[in-house]
């Protein structure tokens, strides 16, 4: 894997971690404003052209899988 692929993967992995953290926080408190904002920011990223440049994985499918994984 070249350094650019490693960087792209690291960006996506961090976004997934951030999304999971936001979802877990929202399970505890669905009105937590910071978690709501973080969730939206991650979803915007997963739906962006930038994400599609970094990954061939469908962003909507990723959102659905992570939401399912969180039990939401």
Q: 16-62, pLDDT tens digit by residue? A: 999 999 999 999 999 999 999 999 999 999 999 999 999 999 999 99
H helix intervals, 1-72? 3-28, 33-46, 49-54, 59-69
* Residues with Cβ within 8 Å of residue 32, at least 6 apart in sequence: 25, 26
> Would you mind telling me the total number of residues written for the chain in this entry?
72
Record the pTM: 0.93
Q: CA 17, CA 71: separation in Å to the nearest integer?
A: 16
> What are residue 63's phi and psi, to 5 degrees?
-60, -45
pLDDT at 72 over 90: no
* pLDDT score recorded for residue 29: 96
* pLDDT score recorded for residue 1: 74
Considering only CA atoms, which of 54, 2, 49, 31 is closest in space to residue 39? 31
């Amino acid at each position: 894997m070249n350094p650019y692929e490693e960087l792209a993967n690291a960006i996506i992995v961090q976004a997934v971690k951030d999304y999971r953290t936001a979802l877990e926080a929202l399970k505890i408190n669905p009105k937590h404003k910071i978690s709501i904002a973080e969730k939206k920011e991650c979803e915007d990223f997963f739906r962006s052209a930038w994400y599609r440049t970094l990954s061939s994985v469908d962003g909507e499918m990723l959102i659905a899988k992570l939401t399912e994984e969180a039990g939401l």
